[in-house]
Structure 1
Amino acid sequence: MRFRARVPLAIALAFALVSCGSGGSGDDTDGAPTDAEPQSTASSDADDADDASATAVESSAEQSGTFRWGTTTMPATMDPTRVGSDSHIAYMLPVYDNLVRADADGNLIPGLATAWTLADDALSLDLSLREGVVFHDGEPFNAEAVIANFEHALSDDSLLAPVLNMIESMEAVDDLTVRIAMNRPGGDLPEILRGYAGMMASPNSILDGTIDQHPVGAGPFALTSINDNEATYERFAEYWDADNIHLAGMSVGIYTDDAARLNAVRTDQLDATFIRPNQLLEAEAAGLKIVTGPRVFIYGMYLNSASDVFSQPEVRQAISLAVDRSSIAEFYYDGGCTPTVQLYPEEYWAYSNDVDDAAYMTYDPDAAAAIIDEAFPDGLSFTILTNTVSNYVGLSEVMQEQFRQIGIDVTVEAIPVNESNTRVREGDYEIAVSALFSANPDPSSFALEYYQVGDTGTFIDPTVPELVERARLTADPALRAEAIGEITDAVLSVGSSMVGICIPDTTFVARTDVDGLVVPMNGNYDFRSVTVGE
């Protein structure tokens, strides 16, 4: 066996912190009926969502300022069917309203659809649409508009086509009712419609091909300008819920460096942003408003199970054994990140109490080294792909050192976010350090995409497809949770291709005159409840 010098992890972490300058939360972005009756949501006031979470800063007054949000990356397109990253949702939400929304606790609530009913056999879904809604160009929102959006999302060059491939046909039952027939059980479809797939654009912008850079939605704000550094929006006076929108406008600006983004809030260049766990003390010392809450957002690694290296279950297991999650959480994230192997926080419905977290979270570098030595007697080397956001560069360097300790020669390649997302989506990587959005668009869809070996139709565990089908027989999260938990246990037992490291405390910071910020458990960043003082 090759000689390995054991460097104390704290020293390795300190080196990584010095080299990258910053550590790493998450912008990068039920009461459901039982199967005995058709599954539906009753019509209700969608604004109830804003009262649902203790993680919200309560809105105190109606004001009309402009809200400036800071994030890390800029989308290449404003067409929701072609956005390759969940981190770009903050740009889309001002413009596009969703058919289905989620409250701060992750429960599905009415959006442009006031109710949805899943048939007993789960093979059709009826959407009841909100009356009196218009797009920014004055065109009415109705059943035909919904069908036009789904047809666009199912087109050949849409990134949403694989997500919506259960749709067999669509019918406008009347002007405000759409019936969707499906070729497999669709209990996951309501959850999917709270994401990009449920964002409704004016059919005119789709037909004339301008949606890419000139989006027209039915959301509370209309896009007024966009460049490489910032997108700006103004209030849409005809918005269906305009009485509850208190901002005159908003903007989303780009700051790839975490320290610079926090400083922009301190110096009044931004009104609010998200921060990393190890920036919390600095934000508190600056007197900024702090909003913290759980979120389905995990720091972790993608292992390409179609590659020669990670097609081997024992090698994937060795990678997990080599990760010192507790020390990363304590030293790199200053205790603001919860070690995990499950890809869901305990507060989320898909988390399973039946999974033996402690067993799968074992840190055993000697066992990992023995596996690597046996599998690769001539040595192993690979490249960690990541993006240029400082948190992920730093975390990649920490992982580089931990893998070096078990005898692996690792190089880190950091490239712009849009490029890294494309590389991962196309399978052009060995291992990637990034955020894992494990419930977007839905836990079952995530399982089918990321536990599959490339595009072969085979899975790292053969039970995954059957369990996914079970999870889609109902829209009730309580009933779906059992199958999702079994998927989690199955993939961990064979060495998961999605390696969770820790779940960060998602924290927003804001200037003191900002109210109404909410950390969503598993919904979109929704700023409709925000107010900004004079």
Structure 2
Amino acid sequence: MKLKAFLTALTVGTALSAVALSSAPAFAAGKMTVSSPQDPGSWDPIDTFLVNWASVATNIYDGLVYRGPDLKIVPALATSWEELDEGKRIRFHLRENVKFHNGEPFNAEAVKFTFERLLGDEGAKGPQRSNYVAIEKIEVIDDKTVDFHLKDTDPVLMTKLAGYGAMIVPPKYIQEKGDDFFNANPVGTGPFKVTSYKPKVGIQMEAFADHWGGAPKLSELEYRFITEPSTAVAELQAGRVDLVIPPTIPIGMIPTIEADPNLAIVTTAGPTVYSLRYNTRDGITADERVRKALILGVDRDTIIKSILGGQAEPIASLQGALSFGYDAAMKPLPYDPEGAKKLLAEAGVKPGAAVQIDIRGNDATFNEVVQAVSSYLQIIGINATIKPYETNVLLNDIIPQGKTGAMFQQSWGGWTFDYDNTAYSMYHAGEKWNPYDNDAKMNELLESQRAITDRAKREVILKEIANYAADRALEMPLYNLKAIYGINKRVKNFVPAPDSRLRLTEVSVD
């Protein structure tokens, strides 16, 4: 009962902090302002893996194909495509009369430049290259036709071509201005053109009238980088922000937003899963028994109900039900504190043993969750210290360099909705998100499914990977959170994207 009261207090205690608010400026006609929790730091498609990048840059860039909120792949800069040579070559037919924001023409050479840059030395500096290594070379057939020659099968390649590193960039502009300039002054073919970027502050855009799909309904679009959730919600309430995107809004603030007649909460099923991953190399969590004990010691169902307000589903692996490879037969380990204590004793872990949990400092909801996790762990004799980091520091330094504590937050969007995108990044040796583990069996399973185009056969292997990761207790799976948006009702025709990759061409404002 004591713990339950603590959890209830955590929920009730979430309150909007006092924020100094200046008088709200009048909105320009047709302008929409969006609150995003993070400045990605670079607008180059090959430099990033961040959902917060995609929520902005989906409006700046186009890929050969596009995947919208319905998760269907449709033509974009390519009007059609076909597989040749038994799937070893894909021919794309390109859209005509398309221009980049600087007036540079889009053509087959731009496609070739984009992917040779991605797969070359510049791409090697960023996190996106490994997603496209199935591509061997790009062949220009003519100005509007290009062939992708594949050295390996990649059953998720078409989805990958709809986002992140595959966004088409302007060759002449980059060659003349250089990569560093491009990072802060992006140019694409998308529906909005960047007019101003102030690091850590925001990015402003205007409608690109010459967009191949027609000019967007908005005349201006601004993203403000507001890291503090309470500030973002206060700005929404004050009318200076029209939309707050995931994962900003703490669950405890939902009633506050819903009580405002000018505001609404919009949710949709999403890909984002939350876990506490383990340092499998050092300390007590190098022991599989300890890792399982920590899972058994945390009542995740109560956390979902009491802290998350039912806005999430429990998970047994690092994926949600929309993910290809999801195994509905897998069940999360039950809450079993006595079983946890027994495993800890078998592993020689004495009461009072300490663990450090590293988290993103600006994630208010997850901060509450991990406080509850810490309380549960104390019950089984583990003293957990929570260490918050600035998000970019945690993601770009602490985790990739293997400098975490025993446990660390891993929030993963899995934007392809294919378990490969998550599992390969998390579990294959040498990957950025796997600084500790090298498992020959896991490596083999991950590599084998990438060579299979038969969906049914691939699905079997993906489920095996999920079960094997669970058997080894590579993380404490927590929950699959819904995508939660806070919106001003003056915004019309907004469709929430499960993966926060917002294409705001049809949105308008009163």
Taking structure 1 as the reference length, the TM-score comes to 0.83
In 1, are the aligned partners of 2:45 and 2:166 still within 8 Å (CA)? no
Secondary structure of 1:200's match?
coil
Counterpart of 1:384 in structure 2 is 357
Higher relative contact order (CA 8 A, sep 6+): 1
Counterpart of 1:129 in structure 2 is 94
Counterpart of 2:165 in structure 1 is 197
Alignment of 1:113-512 (within 5 A): 113-119=78-84, 121-154=86-119, 155=121, 156-207=124-175, 208-209=177-178, 210-227=181-198, 228-243=200-215, 245-274=216-245, 275-287=249-261, 288-353=263-328, 355-357=329-331, 360-378=332-350, 380-389=353-362, 390-422=364-396, 423-430=398-405, 431-439=407-415, 442-453=418-429, 459-460=438-439, 462-463=441-442, 465-466=444-445, 468-474=447-453, 480-495=458-473, 497-512=474-489
In 1, are the aligned partners of 2:414 and 2:421 still within 8 Å (CA)? no
Name the aligned partner's letter for residue 221 of structure 1. F
Measure, in 1, the Cα distance between the counterparts of 2:342 and 2:127. 41
Q: C-alpha deviations, 1:92-121, integer Å up to 9, x for none?
A: 222111222212132222222233434575
Name the aligned partner's letter for residue 304 of structure 1. N
> What is the Cα deviation at residue 215 of structure 1?
0.7
In 2, are the aligned partners of 1:277 and 1:504 still within 8 Å (CA)? no
Cα distance 1:78–1:200, how it changes in 2: closer, same or farther (>3 A)? same
In 2, are the aligned partners of 1:295 and 1:519 still within 8 Å (CA)? no
Cα distance 1:483–1:524, how it changes in 2: closer, same or farther (>3 A)? farther
Cα distance 1:439–1:118, how it changes in 2: closer, same or farther (>3 A)? farther
Cα distance 1:316–1:120, how it changes in 2: closer, same or farther (>3 A)? farther
Tell which deviates more after alignment, 180-189 or 415-424: 180-189
- Asked if 1:516 corresponds to 2:493, the answer is yes
Name the aligned partner's letter for residue 92 of structure 2. L
Secondary structure of 2:182's match?
coil
- Asked if 1:8 corresponds to 2:2, the answer is yes
Q: C-alpha deviations, 1:203-246, integer Å up to 9, x for none?
A: 13432222111111111111111222211111111111124x10
Measure, in 1, the Cα distance between the counterparts of 2:500 and 2:482. 16
Tell which deviates more after alignment, 226-235 or 168-177: 168-177
Q: C-alpha deviations, 1:155-205, integer Å up to 9, x for none?
A: 231221222222222211222222222332122211212221221221134
Question: Which ranges in structure 1 are unaligned for 5 or more consecutive residues?
Answer: 1-6, 24-62
Q: C-alpha deviations, 1:388-436, integer Å up to 9, x for none?
A: 2122332222222222222222211111111111122333213212422
Measure, in 2, the Cα distance between the counterparts of 1:376 and 1:105. 50
> What is the Cα deviation at residue 337 of structure 1?
1.8
Name the aligned partner's letter for residue 181 of structure 1. H
Taking structure 2 as the reference length, the TM-score comes to 0.86
Cα distance 1:224–1:238, how it changes in 2: closer, same or farther (>3 A)? same
Name the aligned partner's letter for residue 37 of structure 2. T
Tell which deviates more after alignment, 187-196 or 299-308: 299-308
Tell which deviates more after alignment, 180-189 or 67-76: 180-189
> What is the Cα deviation at residue 503 of structure 1?
1.7
Cα distance 1:523–1:335, how it changes in 2: closer, same or farther (>3 A)? closer
In 2, are the aligned partners of 1:123 and 1:185 still within 8 Å (CA)? yes
> What is the Cα deviation at residue 331 of structure 1?
0.8
Cα distance 1:106–1:260, how it changes in 2: closer, same or farther (>3 A)? same
Tell which deviates more after alignment, 207-216 or 81-90: 81-90
Alignment of 1:30-45 (within 5 A): none
Counterpart of 1:78 in structure 2 is 43
Tell which deviates more after alignment, 227-236 or 299-308: 299-308
> What is the Cα deviation at residue 479 of structure 1?
6.4
Name the aligned partner's letter for residue 62 of structure 2. D
Name the aligned partner's letter for residue 100 of structure 2. F
Cα distance 1:498–1:81, how it changes in 2: closer, same or farther (>3 A)? farther
Name the aligned partner's letter for residue 488 of structure 1. A
Question: Which ranges in structure 2 are unaligned for 5 or more consecutive residues?
Answer: 18-27
Q: State percent identity of aligned pairs.
A: 24
Name the aligned partner's letter for residue 361 of structure 1. L
In 1, are the aligned partners of 2:325 and 2:418 still within 8 Å (CA)? no
In 1, are the aligned partners of 2:483 and 2:498 still within 8 Å (CA)? no
The count of aligned residue pairs is 482
